Amino acid sequence: MESEVERETEPGAAETLQKKILTRAELLALSSELVEQLHARTTRPTFRETGADRTRLAYARATTAAIAATAAILRDAELDDLKERLDRLEERKGCTCKT
C-alpha cells in the first residue's frame, strides 16, 4: 500500500512524496526479526555485555514502539474501512439502524 504525503521544502513550495505503508505481515516480519536477533544475542553459550548493547537495546525499544504505533494506526484504518463497508451495506439493505 502506498500513501501520498505532501511536505513543504521551501516557503510556498510543496513536494509530494510516495511513501510505502507497511502491512501487518511486514510489521510481523520486522518484529520477528528483532526478537530473533535479541534472542540469538542473549542465549549464546558465553554472553558478555559489550559497549554496543545499550545502544542496541535503545534502538530495539524504539523499533518496538514504532511497530506498536504503526500496528495501532493500521488497526484503526482497517476498522474505519470496515465501518464504511458496513454503512454501504446497510444503505443498500435499507437498514435504519445506526450505532
Does the pTM surpass 0.75? The reply is no
Q: Which residue has the higher pLDDT, 22 or 65?
A: 65
Give the model's confidence band at 97: pLDDT under 50 very low, under 70 low, under 90 confident, else very high: low
Amino acid letter, residue 66:
A
Separation of alpha carbons 13 and 10, rounded Å: 5
Separation of alpha carbons 64 and 17, rounded Å: 25
Identify the CA nearest to 3 among candidates 19, 15, 27, 22: 19
Using DSSP bridges, classify how beta strands 2-10 and 13-20 pair: parallel, antiparallel or unpaired: antiparallel
Separation of alpha carbons 56 and 53, rounded Å: 5
**Of all helices (H) and strands (E), which one includes residue 82?**
helix 52-93
Note the pLDDT tens digit of each residue in 6-54: 555 566 555 666 778 888 899 999 999 999 988 888 888 887 888 888 8
**pLDDT attached to residue 32:** 93
